[in-house]
Amino acid sequence: MKEEIYWQKVKHKVCVRCVDGDEFGNCLLPKSQMCALIEHFPLIVESVEKIQSNFVSDYVNVLRKTVCETCTHQNENGFCGVRYSLDCGLDRYFPLVIEAIESVEKDKTI
């Protein structure tokens, strides 16, 4: 339930702008190329919720340590071909993902 609220935010703030989406928030990638945003979503929410910083680099550092290190696309040297070719939706839109996740908490205080 909680995760669904976060996912709806992400869909409306990130996926609607994604080159791999249908402009309405639905993903057009085939299952065989599932976006890391979908694949690692619970871990992404958990990681973002732990950080409060004005610097995106602080979030990126945590993303690399938590999500990328558990992702099958990254090798033991820390290289990710999907990231390198700008094909990771999570990496490509990470600032928007942070904004979407953090907006859930902000909405509660309004």
Nearer to ligand SF4, 52 or 75 (CB): 75
Residue nearest to ligand SF4 (CB): 89
Contact 67, 91 (CB under 8 A): no
Dihedral of the alpha carbons of 94, 96, 101, 103, in degrees to the nearest 10: 160
Nearer to ligand SF4, 4 or 108 (CB): 4
Residue with tokens 């402009």, as numbered in its chain: 23
Q: Is 44 in the site for ligand SF4 (CB under 6 A)?
A: no
Q: Is 83 in the site for ligand SF4 (CB under 6 A)?
A: yes
Element (H, E) at 42: helix 41-49
What are 78's two structure tokens? 């820390």
C-alpha distance across the termini of the chain, in Å: 21
Q: Which of 7, 41, 59, 88 binds ligand SF4 (CB under 6 A)?
A: 88
Q: Which stretch binds ligand SF4 (CB under 6 A): 1-9, 47-55, 66-74, 101-109?
A: 66-74
Nearer to ligand SF4, 50 or 84 (CB): 84
